[in-house]
Amino acid sequence: TGGWVGLDLGEKHVISKVAYCPKKNEPYSSMLLGLFEGANNPDFGDALPLFLISESPQEGIMTEQIINCSKGFRYVRYIGPNNARCNLAELEFYGYKGEGDDSNLYQLTNLPTVTIHTTNAEDVVIKELYLKGIVSIISDNGTEIYTDSLDVRGRGNGSWEFPKKPYRMKLYNKASLLGFPAVEKSWTLINNHGDKTLMRNLLAFDLSKRLEMPFTPAGKAVDVIFNGQYKGTYQLCDQMEVATGRVEVDKIKTSDIELPSITGGYLIEVDAYARFEPEQSWFSSNVGIPVTIKYPKDDKIVPEQKTYISSHFNEMETALYSSNYADNENGYRKYIDKQTFIRHFLIGELSGNTDTYWSVYAYKNKNDDKFYFGPVWDFDLAYENDSHTYPINKLKDWVYKSGYSAHMMRNFVDRLFTDETFVKEVQTVYALYRDNNILSAEPLLQVVDDYARELNESQKLNFTRWNILNAVIHRNPQIYGSYEEEVENVKNYISGRIDWMDVKLKYKPASINQDKDEDLVLVYSESNTLYIKNIDSETRINIYDLAGRNIYSREICDDISLTLKKGTYIVDISSPSIKKQVKSIIL
């Protein structure tokens, strides 16, 4: 009656096979997604999966399943799916005595498996309360495992209302999960329940990298088990915070209340939900934009720091709405970093994200007046997934004008677009990436296809657990009826969106390499080394980093190789025979 049944084997055994038969007169599907687990604690707090039933067994027949798990367990059990009763007639375990090892563990699909067990199998039912437990992450086809104690709670705003719950994990020890850049304790499991492709956030993160945003959240699709229940396909992702490998701004201490220390760093969020965090938020003095301080954290920040950053935001807003707002020295350019704002804007518009200005992250460094925008976040309504704006490519104006925004943020963007110089800068940035085939239908559609292949096995289990492909979830504009058609909808949107953006931004392809074939000068990279070859005459080389800084400028007459830090660079080549050749290189 507790939803599971198991055995104490008395000592550790390596399980080699299980056999099971469903209870008579029960639906054949009553064991579908049922899970077998092994553990060495009697409460199964350290349990690891042995096998997930992905096809309904037949009544009256013992179904046998070979188990590929090299670890030894004293305790074994079967758990009924979706908190149901076991519905078992007979259950058998086979194996042999032994400690075993971690060399070959069970992974549900090709995606990493994240399994969490809380103390006393307590479920997460509220967002604010952390529960203690143990997390294990099995990856690399079962050859790698990470295990640690953790605290886990719910997270999200609208996403918390779904039956498939999102989670926030706080590890006991800092770690780099799945090889992500950050070595930290806080991580998120995003549910993507209203996104039936299960990839929209990941597609947006790809756009962020393509447009060379300084910080892009790390994310990876995973399968999640919670207290022995299969929960579906999730996205393991960075927590949005100041940290090495995440948002890297100058750290600020409680004692930093004097100039220049108090000037940075800060991470803030223009936040439509700011009213729910009154101690960490304010409304701007001019037009009432709601802002929440994300760093320093609420238990570290002091009143002087909150006063400084709120005042500085107000100064930025005052400059934007002043009569000389377009002035290079004293207008909005003093406070707004155009390069990150423009790229943040383009990501929102290219993806068709109706939530772009509902939540906007920005950061500020020490002794720097400017707010830098990003990282990008929350794209479940993007890529044609919002009935409010469907079909996006039939809109005459930008998505942000029809989407959702925090108070006055739509007006904030409108104000910038009244500056003709700003509009030209948006057009220039867009043209740069279009000319270099970074923003083109072919590579963007290839990313969709790659994620669809990666997710294929997992999505079948996810939609077995959550039978929603023929239901309207959240703001779905249409029912497409299958995973393949959901993916096709995204691809059709991307193809049309590139054409729409070209017209809107008056894009005209640049004439690159007019006097000789573009590939005559070869530019490529290997192991942090940039190679430029096929130089046959005096040639000027300029190399720029993400911030637009010229890090290399020289005339050369022969092939060269340069060792550079890992990153993305723009290589500008010109000579008497080459009027212009620009390449984007990722090391």
Task: List pLDDT tens digits, range 426-472.
Answer: 999 999 999 989 999 999 999 999 999 999 999 999 999 999 999 99
Give the tokens for residue 45.
């707090």
Query: What residue has token string 């992500």?
Result: 180
518 pLDDT exceeds 60? no
- Provide DSSP, 460-525: HHHHHHS--TTS--TT-S----SHHHHHHHHHHHHHHHHHHHHHHTT------STTS-GGGSEEEE
pLDDT for res 567:
73
pLDDT for res 257:
96
Cα–Cα dist 75/36, whole Å: 11
495 pLDDT exceeds 50? yes
Cβ neighbours, 10 Å, residue 294: 21
pLDDT for res 1:
52
State the DSSP code for 397: S
Q: pLDDT tens for residues 2-49?
A: 689 999 999 999 999 999 999 887 766 789 999 999 999 999 999 999
The alpha helices in 144-289, defined as continuous H runs, are 200-210
Residue 418 sits at the vertex; the CA angle it makes with 416 and 424, to the nearest 5 degrees, is: 80
519 pLDDT exceeds 70? no
Query: What residue has token string 């086809």?
Result: 141
Cβ neighbours, 10 Å, residue 487: 22
Three-class secondary structure of residue 37 per DSSP: strand
User: What's the Rg (C-alpha) of the chain?
Assistant: 27
% of the chain residues with pLDDT over 70: 94
The alpha helices in 113-227, defined as continuous H runs, are 200-210
Mean pLDDT rounded to a whole number for the chain:
92
- Helix then strand then coil, % of the chain, to nearest 5: 25, 30, 40
Edge-to-edge strand order for the sheet containing 568-575? 550-556, 539-544, 568-575, 578-586
Poorest-pLDDT segment among 41-50, 365-374, 433-442, 508-517: 508-517
546 pLDDT exceeds 90? no
The dihedral region occupied by 327, where left means phi > 0, alpha psi between -120 and 50, and beta the remainder, is beta
131 pLDDT exceeds 80? yes
pLDDT for res 2:
66
Query: What residue has token string 């022969």?
Result: 558
Residue 514 makes CB contacts below 8 A (sequence gap 6+) with 579
What H or E segment, with its residue span, contains residue 455? helix 441-465
pLDDT for res 512:
42
221 pLDDT exceeds 80? yes
Give the tokens for residue 14.
């390596």
Closest CA to 564 of 580, 544, 583, 547: 544
Q: Taking residues 353-366, report their average pLDDT.
A: 97
Cα–Cα dist 481/467, whole Å: 11
pLDDT for res 333:
97
Q: Taking residues 463-484, report their average pLDDT.
A: 97
| Per-residue b or e along 377-391, where b marks 16 or more CB atoms closer than 10 Å to that residue's CB | bbbbbbbbbbeebbe
514 pLDDT exceeds 60? no
pLDDT for res 113:
98
Closest CA to 539 of 515, 517, 555, 522: 555
Cα–Cα dist 66/58, whole Å: 17
275 pLDDT exceeds 90? no
Give the pLDDT band of residue 511 (cuts 50, 70, 90): low
pLDDT for res 77:
97
- Provide DSSP, 264-317: --EEEEEETTGGG-GGGEEE-TTT--EEEEEES-TTT--HHHHHHHHHHHHHHH
522 pLDDT exceeds 50? yes
Q: Taking residues 340-366, report their average pLDDT.
A: 97
Give the burial class of 72: count Cβ atoms within 10 A of its Cβ; 0-12 exposed, 13-18 middle, 19 or more buried: buried
Q: Taking residues 563-569, report their average pLDDT.
A: 78
Give the burial class of 240: count Cβ atoms within 10 A of its Cβ; 0-12 exposed, 13-18 middle, 19 or more buried: buried
271 pLDDT exceeds 90? yes
